[in-house]
Copies of this chain bind each other. A is one copy, B any other.
Amino acid sequence: MDDASGLASMAALIGEPARAAMLTELLSGRALTATELATRAGVSAATASVHLARLVSGRLLSVEAQGRHRYFRLRDRSVARSLETLASLVPPPLVKEPLDDLRYARTCYDHLAGWLGVAVRDSLVKTRVLLPEGAEHRLTAKGEDRLRTLGVDVDRAAGSRRSFARACLDWSERRPHLAGALGEALLATCLGKRWLVRRDGERAVDVTTAGRRALAGQLGLELPR
């Protein structure tokens, strides 16, 4: 017996529809209660409870008890990465899906994804702020200035031991967006300046009017809506 059983059990854990729905919800990077997850997954509280227990014991989720609530979140970054990687394997639909809110702009654990995430990365590459290098990016000197002006904490991102500016395949666009420490810093900036705002407990994010202006001015993005 080799690792096949390990792979099988892990994939099966993720592969049950209700559990996959919960994991997907948690990809927003936030912590949600058992009841919230039950509702979103469309199952009873009882059912959700056993699913969540299995996800925790399978080390995909961590729990934190707070009063009578229990908050679940993805155990760590690597879980989020694996889920995204897995989702990117899904064959693209034959007919093109309309650009709903989720596909337009969403968080992917700690960075920006969706049409907007891809567009931002494209712009950064096009303006030579970032140079693609395989699955990574190198930050140019000019780019460093640009990002600093935007208010991105470049030093903290560069100092982190994790991957700096990873290209992460977007499941809806099937083109890369920006992940890694820099991806996180960039999202943090956009949220901090309220160019983007998270929807309550959803993965989708909204672009504010200020954000629309900033993205157009600073990154040359033509937002389709």
A85 touching B89, Cβ below 8 Å: no
Closest chain B residue, CB of each to CB of A78: B89
So how many copies of this chain end up in the complex?
A: 2
Cβ of A164: which chain B residues have Cβ within 8 Å of it?
A: 133-134
Chain A: interface residue total (CB-CB under 8 A): 52
Interface residues of A in 143-174 (CB under 8 A from B): 161-164, 166, 171-172
Interface of chain A: mostly helix, strand, loop or mixed = helix
Cβ of A13: which chain B residues have Cβ within 8 Å of it?
A: 11, 15
- With A136-B135, A136-B136, A136-B163 known as contacts, the answer to whether A6 contacts B85 (CB < 8 A) is no
- With A7-B90, A90-B7 known as contacts, the answer to whether A15 contacts B17 (CB < 8 A) is no
Known: A85-B85, A134-B164. 15 other contacts (CB 8 A): A4-B23, A4-B25, A7-B24, A8-B14, A10-B15, A10-B87, A11-B15, A78-B88, A82-B85, A134-B161, A134-B166, A134-B180, A134-B181, A135-B163, A136-B136
